[in-house]
Amino acid sequence: MTATTDGSTGALPSRAAAASDTDTEEAAGATEAARRAVTHATEFLLAQQDAQGWWKGDLETNVTMDAEDLLLRQFLGVRDEATTRASALFIRGEQREDGTWATFYGGPGDLSATVEAYVALRLAGDAPEAPHMAKASAWIRDQGGIAAARVFTRIWLALFGWWKWDDLPELPPELIYFPSWFPLNIYDFGCWARQTIVPLTVVSAKRPVRPAPFALDELHTDPAVPNPPRPLAPATSWEGAFQRMDKALHAFRKVAPKRLRQAAMNTAARWIIERQENDGCWGGIQPPAVYSVIALYLLGYDLQHPVMREGLASLDRFAVWREDGARMIEACQSPVWDTCLAIIALVDGGLPADHPQLVKAADWMLGEEIVRPGDWAVRRPGLPPGGWAFEFHNDNYPDIDDTAEVILALRRVRHHDPERVEKAIARGVRWNLGMQSKNGGWGAFDVDNTSTLPNLLPFCDFGEVIDPPSADVTAHVVEMLAVEGLAHDPRTRRGIAWLLAEQEPEGAWFGRWGVNYIYGTGSVVPALVTAGIPASHPAIRRAVAWLETVQNDDGGWGEDLRSYRNSGRWSGRGASTPSQTAWALMALLAAGERESKAVRRGVEWLAATQRRDGSWDEPYFTGTGFPWDFSINYHLYRQVFPLTALGRYLNGDPFPARDEAEGA
């Protein structure tokens, strides 16, 4: 026995007991910090809601959107000084010290983005000898000049004679006639590529050239030989075969029957016009709208034609005007996605399910349901429509991922018209089930969009052009089906089996639409657990172990976009970000790790990095359009996902795990 400080005798507390007391105190501190953070985050997010009921954060990509917007206006003869000045202000502000432009925050200089930004600033009046321009042009030459830029960049330059059309891959408009079962038909391409390629076949056939307002000799390694010949790959390789096919298409161009070519372009025009949305855009995304306007203009549609007038007006709605007068172009807008994620975050954070702002948001989402067939019906002609798109207006391309998350959001709201909600959910569930691919997974927009041939075309040198099933989309659908009581449905179990087979050896899952392995893992683990896979399952334990090994010293998680190119070095590695920390926490919490040190440290990091107004700062890009090639900073991700994770830390999962999925 040992004397105590008050003179009595008693046993000193053991080290284990002291450690236990410390752990308890630290857990209590984390809980209190999480409560404060949730309160402030909820207040901030509620204040961001639009009067109509939706949420939308800025969707930041890179300066090619802004450069191509100016080039379009130059081509059409509608470029004005105010727009040019505001766009140039934004583009200049994104230039790095080395004179380059990157495609994501902290990333390396990108040749094509730098070429396009440079040309846009020349249009705005920046002199080539100005220091910032001279830096850019020197770097461009060092990287191989315009000749080394991607095809899409050289198409823009060809519109003004800065590049020769003969030196671009051929894209014949007769492609529109290929039946859906024929290789390389337009429905073999992902919807975003399809909407771009159809109008570009018209542009490729017409080969327009507008007088260039200046020369670009400073962007060639040798202006006398701007495009040195490239060696042909072996004919026995896919690359070589497609190179020779492109040569044959160039030859066909010279002998193509004029009536056939004109008919093909007219058919392409009808295809384009039929897919124009009610607000004038195409697919709710900027690139197809730009190319569709050019194609129709080349076919004789004047700028006052209703289709053209509404198309041009829609492009202005992609502009975000900043306080300093700069004008940034969004590649897309994400109100449906942002709204369903905001609802999930608020309810998981403890907001009552019948809160008026949640009901208003649900009303708005119900009004956005798509009830007519779109391009997806080419592969699923008998499937009744139902579901939601990503954007304000995009009835042709509902999104499987959005549909699953909207249903999960609607299930969290106590609505005054439950019958309406149930019918909308039933249609969405039926449509999602009908969009399952043969391998058991789900893509984002289409069924079995898995042919690899489009990726081999010389024309397709930028990003993904197909839409195969991905772990993140499949996980969201599986989670939704489990919440709807369909965990034992054979189609759900096929999805579960596909997910388990897709796990990486180290325990993570690849994230197609978010960066990257942290996003994939943060999506899959909650889905599997909700569908009945026990937290003790080896796949879940491997995921937990991997997340713990990649936690940063500061307690957060982060992953650089370079993991798409070098997963060995960058998988789960990068500066801590609020959204990626939240994804990791959502996985760990679903796996039953609430009391773990990793979870506590992650919660503490989120609470400590929250700003006074209840928001978080996140300059890093954690969203993905095309892995590595086209990255996205969703400005609402930094808000909704931390609130979701902290809410689940405090309140648990709103949809606890269902029965164990038999046979999974």
Would residue 463 count as lying in a domain?
no
Report the candidate in 448, 496, 450, 641 with the shortest Cα–Cα distance to residue 556.
641
Is the confidence at residue 177, as pLDDT, over 90?
A: yes
What number is the average pLDDT over the span 532-550? 98
Alpha carbons 507 and 544: distance in angstroms, whole number: 8
> Which residue is catalytic, options 66, 188, 401, 472?
401
Would residue 620 count as lying in a domain?
yes
Instruction: Assess whether 385 and 426 both reside in one domain.
Output: yes
Instruction: Assess whether 255 and 136 both reside in one domain.
Output: yes
Is the confidence at residue 658, as pLDDT, over 80?
A: no
Report the candidate in 492, 393, 486 with the shortest Cα–Cα distance to residue 442.
492
Instruction: Assess whether 417 and 479 both reside in one domain.
Output: yes
pTM value is: 0.93
Would residue 660 count as lying in a domain?
no
What is the amino acid identity at position 197?
I
Do 151 and 203 contact (CB within 8 A), yes or no?
Answer: no
Phi, psi dihedral angles at 152 (to 5 degrees): -60, -40
Instruction: Assess whether 482 and 603 both reside in one domain.
Output: yes
Is 279 marked active-site? no
Beta strands in 484-639 (DSSP E): 623-626, 630-634
Alpha carbons 459 and 152: distance in angstroms, whole number: 8
Would residue 383 count as lying in a domain?
yes
3-state helix, strand, coil in the chain (%, to 5): 50, 5, 45
Query: What Cα–Cα distance (Å) separates residue 33 from each residue in 36, 40, 598, 636?
Result: 5, 11, 16, 22
Do 445 and 391 contact (CB within 8 A), yes or no?
Answer: no
SS3 153: helix
Instruction: Assess whether 531 and 602 both reside in one domain.
Output: yes
Do 515 and 624 contact (CB within 8 A), yes or no?
Answer: yes
Q: What is the pLDDT of residue 241?
A: 85
Name, in order, each residue with C-beta under 8 angstroms of 470's C-beta and a sequence gap of 6 or more.
441, 442, 443, 444, 510, 511, 512, 513
Instruction: Assess whether 253 and 379 both reside in one domain.
Output: no
Alpha carbons 363 and 421: distance in angstroms, whole number: 9
Instruction: Assess whether 249 and 104 both reside in one domain.
Output: yes
Final residue of a structural domain among 265, 297, 329: 329
Do 121 and 128 contact (CB within 8 A), yes or no?
Answer: no
Tokens 């029957």 -> residue: 257
The dihedral sign for the CA sequence 440, 446, 450, 451 = positive
Structural domain of 409: 39-57+334-452+471-651
Do 513 and 444 contact (CB within 8 A), yes or no?
Answer: yes
The listed range with the strongest mean pLDDT (9-13, 249-253, 416-420) is: 416-420
What number is the average pLDDT over the span 286-311? 95
Q: What is the pLDDT of residue 17?
A: 53
Q: What is the pLDDT of residue 390?
A: 94
In this prediction, what percent of the chain has a pLDDT beyond 90? 86
Report the candidate in 61, 213, 208 with the shortest Cα–Cα distance to residue 124.
213
pLDDT band at 10 (very low <50, low <70, confident <90, very high): very low
Least confident of 12-26, 130-144, 155-169, 333-347: 12-26
Q: What is the pLDDT of residue 456?
A: 85
Would residue 594 count as lying in a domain?
yes
Instruction: Assess whether 322 and 345 both reside in one domain.
Output: no
Phi-psi region of 106 (alpha: psi -120 to 50; beta: other; left: phi over 0): left
Which is higher by pLDDT, 57 or 660? 57
Each residue's pLDDT tens digit, 518-539: 999 999 999 999 999 999 999 9
Instruction: Assess whether 394 and 375 both reside in one domain.
Output: yes
Final residue of a structural domain among 329, 357, 383: 329
CATH code, domain carrying 553:
1.50.10.20
> Hey, what's the torsion of the CAs at 183, 185, 191, 193, to 10 degrees?
90
Do 167 and 227 contact (CB within 8 A), yes or no?
Answer: yes
Q: What is the 3-state secondary structure (H, E, C) of 395-422?
A: CCCCEHHHHHHHHHHHCCCCCCCHHHHH
Final residue of a structural domain among 276, 307, 329: 329
Would residue 460 count as lying in a domain?
no
Instruction: Assess whether 51 and 73 both reside in one domain.
Output: no
SS3 635: coil
Each residue's pLDDT tens digit, 454-472: 988 888 887 789 999 999 9
Which is higher by pLDDT, 46 or 19? 46
What is the amino acid identity at position 1?
M
Do 548 and 613 contact (CB within 8 A), yes or no?
Answer: no
Least confident of 276-280, 447-451, 655-659: 655-659
Instruction: Assess whether 395 and 542 both reside in one domain.
Output: yes
Q: What is the pLDDT of residue 617?
A: 97
In the chain, the number of structural domains is 2
Instruction: Assess whether 436 and 506 both reside in one domain.
Output: yes
Do 514 and 622 contact (CB within 8 A), yes or no?
Answer: yes
On average, the pLDDT of the chain sits at 93
Q: What is the 3-state secondary structure (H, E, C) of 280-338?
A: CCECCEHHHHHHHHHHHHHCCCCCCCHHHHHHHHHHHCCEEECCCCCEEECCECCHHHH
Longest CA–CA span in the chain (Å) reads 108
Would residue 421 count as lying in a domain?
yes
Alpha carbons 320 and 286: distance in angstroms, whole number: 13
Would residue 9 count as lying in a domain?
no
Which is higher by pLDDT, 278 or 137? 137
Each residue's pLDDT tens digit, 606-641: 999 999 999 999 999 999 999 988 999 999 999 999
Query: What Cα–Cα distance (Å) separates residue 239 from each residue in 178, 235, 458, 459?
Result: 22, 8, 8, 12
Q: What is the pLDDT of residue 240?
A: 85
pLDDT band at 11 (very low <50, low <70, confident <90, very high): very low
Give bridge partners of residue 632 from the DSSP assignment.
623
User: Which class for 102: exposed (0-12), middle (13-18), buried (19 or more C-beta within 10 A)?
Assistant: buried
Phi, psi dihedral angles at 658 (to 5 degrees): -80, -175
Is the confidence at residue 4, as pLDDT, over 80?
A: no
